């Protein structure tokens, strides 16, 4: 899996954030002879790779419309067994850009994001840190924990989580239209190692798998139930929880 080799920043005012990430992820700060992939801390932080770049702006880009209508995420809410009176502990084992995890946090869930790629971890942190100072954003921020690593490291803690959420859509072979960001990630994570089979072999309570609408089950058994949208579906597998 590709990962960033350096962190840079385009203004001195961003130096403290760059140093924070350097200390946290052990990636050096550089300004010269930068080789892709690397990450630039800026007003709109960018991950550079394959002669292209990726941004992750929760409050500006297309994702902002999902945020504005987060209460209408009916299929996602059904998939996790949402109840307004209960805050579930959710492990997002394929963090990506953190979009679904942030929607879940807005819905009041306690979300742990585990992402193997440091560049993507930083883009998630930058997206969250750059949100406007609004009460419902601040409440959601407090409900998210971002960890860099392989989510398989948490297999022995599976019973600590009410829901395991997996989105293997990145780098898939599906035929639906790819956005610029998804196309970038397809290439950036082209050797992505899907942890799905490992989680399904555990004594889980509930696993939710986000897939393209017409994707085959492959070697998986049919889910307990599926919730279908216009272009995607959520396959739900339950073992220790009744629907």
Q: What is the distance between the alpha carbons of residues 195 and 92, in angstroms, rounded to a whole number?
A: 11
Q: Which CATH class is domain 63-176+193-238?
A: alpha beta
- Determine the pLDDT at residue 242: 65
What pLDDT is stored for residue 169 in this prediction?
64
- List, as one string, the DSSP characters of the chain: ----S-EEESSGGGHHHHHHHHHHH---B-SSS--SSEEEESTT-EEEETTEEE---TTTSTHHHHHHTGGG-HHHHHHHT--TT---EEEESS-TT-HHHHHHHHTT-EEEEEES-HHHHHHHHHHHHTS-S-HHHHHHHTTEEEEES-GGGGGGGGGG-SEEEE-TTTT----SPPPHHHHHHHHHTTT----HHHHHTS--SEEEEEEETT---TTSPPPSEEEE-SSEEEEEEESSS--
| pLDDT for the residue 171 | 43
pTM to 2 decimals? 0.92
pLDDT of the chain along its 243 residues, tens only?
579 999 999 999 999 999 999 999 999 999 998 999 999 999 999 999 989 999 999 988 789 999 999 999 999 999 999 999 999 999 999 999 999 999 999 999 999 999 999 999 999 999 999 999 999 899 999 999 999 999 999 999 999 999 999 998 644 555 555 577 777 887 777 776 788 889 999 999 999 999 988 888 877 889 999 999 998 999 999 986 666
Q: Which of 132, 134, 76, 130 is nearest to 107 (CA)?
A: 76
Tell me what pLDDT residue 176 has.
52
What pLDDT is stored for residue 111 in this prediction? 98
- Regarding beta strands 38-41 and 7-9, do their DSSP bridges make them parallel or antiparallel, or are they unpaired? parallel
Domain positions in the chain are: 63-176+193-238
pLDDT digits (tens, 9 = 90+) for 28-38: 999 998 999 99
């Amino acid at each position: 899996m590709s990962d960033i080799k350096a962190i840079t920043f385009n203004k001195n005012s961003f130096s403290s954030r760059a140093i924070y990430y350097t200390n946290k992820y052990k990636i050096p700060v550089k300004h010269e002879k930068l080789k892709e992939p690397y990450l630039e801390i800026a007003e709109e932080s960018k991950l550079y790779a394959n002669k292209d770049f990726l941004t992750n702006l929760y409050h500006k880009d297309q994702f902002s419309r999902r945020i504005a209508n987060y209460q209408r995420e009916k299929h996602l809410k059904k998939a996790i067994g949402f109840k307004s009176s209960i805050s579930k502990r959710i492990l997002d084992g394929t963090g990506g850009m953190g979009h679904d995890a942030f929607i879940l946090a807005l819905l009041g869930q306690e979300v742990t994001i585990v992402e193997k790629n440091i560049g993507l971890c930083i883009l998630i942190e930058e997206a969250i840190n750059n949100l406007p100072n609004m009460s419902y954003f601040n409440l959601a921020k407090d409900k998210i924990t971002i960890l860099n690593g392989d989510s398989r490291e948490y297999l022995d803690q599976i019973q600590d989580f009410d829901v395991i959420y997996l989105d293997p859509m990145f780098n898939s072979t599906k035929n639906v239209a790819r956005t610029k960001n998804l196309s970038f990630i397809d290439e950036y994570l082209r050797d992505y190692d899907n942890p799905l089979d490992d989680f399904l072999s555990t004594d889980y309570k509930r696993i939710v798998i986000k897939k393209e609408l017409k994707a085959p089950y492959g070697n998986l058994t049919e889910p307990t139930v599926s919730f279908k949208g216009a272009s995607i579906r959520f396959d739900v597998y339950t073992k220790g929880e009744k629907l």
